Structure 1
Amino acid sequence: MTDEATPAGDPAGVASRREGVAAAAPERRRRRGFRRLAVEIGVALVLVMLVRALLAQSYFVPSASMEPTVMTGDRVVVLKTTTVQRGDLVVFDGTDTFAAADRSPYMSDGIIGSILGGVADLLGVNLGEQDFLKRVAATGGQQVSCTPDGGLVVDGESVAEPYLAEGVAACEDPFDVTVPEGHYFMLGDNRPESADSRAHLGSPGGGMVPEDDVVGTVELRYWPLGDVGPVD
């Protein structure tokens, strides 16, 4: 007699087993595809974190303090570097120096910022630092001063500032300070609208930004598309 659980002529149930294997194959492929996708996402996250930590970071500019050099709404790429010179545009963490007077942060933007922000939230990491974009007016050991009529002076030499908008004075109120070693004196190009080192001269630290707080130099504007290119 033929076993009722197997087709006639297939007493060993080979055909049934083959059908079962064929039915399970799509499920196994889906599981393998899911595992491969998970691995690829994990590798991508690691690469993004390495790029952000070691090489570059994207920022969105929400205020007019650096106009006309960097406009409101611009998106820029900051190259992480330890070499900063007078005149460079830099992004720095102003949590302990600038945040009290200017609450408009230059928040990390784009895919990098979104991915890392989500991961940080999941891990409970606080990313509440206040990042700012300003120009280095003087470095450690330099004397920097300014008067409305005489303009910006560093170590006794007048500084040409072609990046200031026409009719904008180098300063409205005079100042004369010496920058401590290991610090920077920061100014915004839009002097009337920038809360920079001048706004903190009477605060602890005197508005000087420690070298360790600098994220890097602003190198490239990638939005808007019509202005893509190096930031001068």
Structure 2
Amino acid sequence: MPDDKINARRFPRSKPLEFLILLVVAVVVAAGVRTFLVQTFFIPSGSMEQTLLLNDKVLVNKAVYRFRDPHRGEIIVFEPPIGWGAGPSEQDYIKRVIGVGGDHVICCDPQKRITVNGHPLDETYLYPGDAPSDEEFDVTVPAGRLFVMGDHRSDSADSRAHMESDQGTIPVNRVAGRAFAIYWPTSRWRSLSVPATFSDLPGNG
């Protein structure tokens, strides 16, 4: 009798065991993807309306910032600094990057626009009826930090609310990743691209 048949009889395949092994492998792979590559995140507030609505679910790229720093205009998920009054049990925040290290961010110019390094932003993504900011500020973003704002400016506790703490900026190393797509509800499937106004700014990668 051929050896392969003898081996098959001595070591019969176990369907439950195969399924269990496949299940364990799938869980390990999924955990690895979640830890190192992509994670889901739900929107807990209206601070990013109308771009992101309450209870939208987004995909967050956790790998991209291992190779580069965040760029202006990107939507990021980050752990809020202790100076923002958030403890370790607080949820992560999600905001848009307005300024990166070295940028001079001002509100507002004579046309009531936010400027970055003297270039005005055409913020078509803002919540309807919202001004770019009801509060004036003049910030030079420290190296290794980010100035962030919500798209629903009148309902967002962002960098403007913490100007006494490193000018309201957040450390790059507290950023978990970039939100790059809405995946739920399915009626709102779309990518989260960088608005065109940021492409006119120099040095945005």
Query: What TM bracket, shorter-length normalisation?
Result: 0.7 to 0.9
Tell me the equivalent position of 2:26.
44
Determine whether 1:91 maps to 2:77.
yes
Offset at 1:208? 1.1
What do residues 171-194 of structure 1 show as CA deviations (whole Å, max 9, x unaligned)? 111001111001100000000000
Any gaps of 5 or more consecutive residues in structure 2?
1-11, 194-205
Matches within 5 A, 1:16-27: none
| 1:65 partner letter | S
1:58-116: per-residue Cα shift (whole Å, max 9, x none)?
A: 0111210000011111111011211321111111111535453xx9xxxxxxxxxxxxx
TM-score by length of 1: 0.70
Matched AA of 2:187 = G
Residue of structure 2 in register with 1:63 after alignment: 45
**What's the counterpart of residue 115 of structure 2?**
153
Alignment-mate amino acid for residue 55 of structure 2:
G
Once residues 31 and 90 of structure 2 are traced to their aligned partners in structure 1, the CA distance between those partners, rounded to angstroms, is 18
Alignment of 1:65-80 (within 5 A): 65-80=47-62
Aligned mate of 2:100, from 139, 143, 146: 139
Distance in 2 separating the partners of 1:182 and 1:139: 8
State the alpha-carbon separation in 1 of the partners of residues 135 and 74 from structure 2.
23
The partner residue of 1:231 within 171, 192, 204 is 192
Residue 210 of structure 1 and its aligned partner are, at CA, apart by 0.9
Aligned with 2:82: secondary structure?
coil
Q: Is the 8 A contact 2:97 2:149 kept in 1?
A: yes
Evaluate the alpha carbon distance shift between residue 228 and residue 97 of structure 1 in structure 2; reply closer, same or farther with a 3 A threshold: farther
Any conservation in 2 of the 1:171–1:191 contact (CA below 8 Å)? yes
SS in 1 for 2:130: coil
Deviations 1:146-205 (A, max 9, x none): 1385220111121111101332101111001111001100000000000001111113x3
Mapped contact 2:127–2:153 kept (Cα < 8 A): no
Give secondary structure in 2 for the equivalent of 1:219.
Answer: strand
Q: 46-55 vs 148-157, which deviates more?
A: 148-157
Matched, 1:220 2:181: yes
C-alpha offsets along residues 34-66 of structure 1, whole Å, 9 cap, x if unaligned?
443432232122101210122111011121000
Q: How many angstroms apart in 2 are the aligned matches of 1:137 and 1:69?
A: 15
- Contact 1:95–1:131 (CA<8 Å) still a contact in 2? no
- The normalised TM-score by structure 2 is 0.78
SS in 2 for 1:184: strand
> Following the alignment from structure 2 to structure 1, what is the Cα–Cα distance between the partners of residues 99 and 125?
16
Amino acid at match of 2:154: P
Q: Structure 2 CA distance, aligned partners of 1:46 and 1:151? A: 48
Does the 8 A contact of 1:95 with 1:130 survive in 2? no
Change over 3 Å in CA distance of 1:187–1:46 after alignment to 2 = same
* Residue 172 of structure 2 is aligned to residue 186 of structure 1: no
Retained in 2: the 8 A contact 1:89–1:136?
A: yes
Displacement of 1:145 in angstroms is 1.1
Larger Rg: 1
Once residues 99 and 34 of structure 1 are traced to their aligned partners in structure 2, the CA distance between those partners, rounded to angstroms, is: 50
Identity of aligned residues (%): 38
